[in-house]
Amino acid sequence: MFSFIKRHWIAYLIGAIVAIALGLGLSYFVGVAGSTPEAQRVERNEAERAQDASNDQTFIDEAIDEQEKEAEDDAAAEDGDTAEDTEGGDDA
């Protein structure tokens, strides 16, 4: 069997080169044919950026609201307006 391969090594070499070329060519064709068109890809990217910006703004608004609430709670605690003081119980 090895003697046959030794005698016909050029045919095996040509066959391997053809197989590699076909594999690369087909993979390129599938990549080009199956990829998303440029216009659609740009449209999706713009929509995603707009969604991300909206989500970022929502996150910022929630963080600001949380900080304002914490500041109000801190101010109320400094003024002595705690839940125990406002219950109206007279423990004296």
Domain segments of the chain as ranges: 10-75
pLDDT attached to residue 2: 86
Hey, how many other C-beta atoms are within 10 angstroms of the C-beta on 52?
Answer: 10
pLDDT at 89 over 70: no
The CA distance from 34 to 42, in Å, is 16
User: How close are the terminal C-alpha atoms of the chain, in Å?
Assistant: 109
Kindly indicate the confidence band of residue 86, based on its pLDDT and cuts at 50, 70 and 90: low
Residue 15 pLDDT: 96
What is the DSSP secondary structure assignment for residue 35, as one 8-state letter? S
Residue 57 in contact with residue 65, Cβ under 8 Å? no
Q: What is the DSSP letter of 8?
A: T
Euclidean distance between CA atoms 25 and 30, whole angstroms: 9
Cβ pair 12, 5 in contact under 8 A: yes
List pLDDT tens digits, range 39-81. 888 898 888 888 887 777 787 888 888 888 888 888 888 776 5
The pLDDT-based confidence of 25 (bands split at 50, 70, 90) is very high
Instruction: Give pLDDT, residue 19.
Output: 98
pLDDT of residue 74: 83
Contacts of 51-59 with CB under 8 Å at 24 or more apart are none
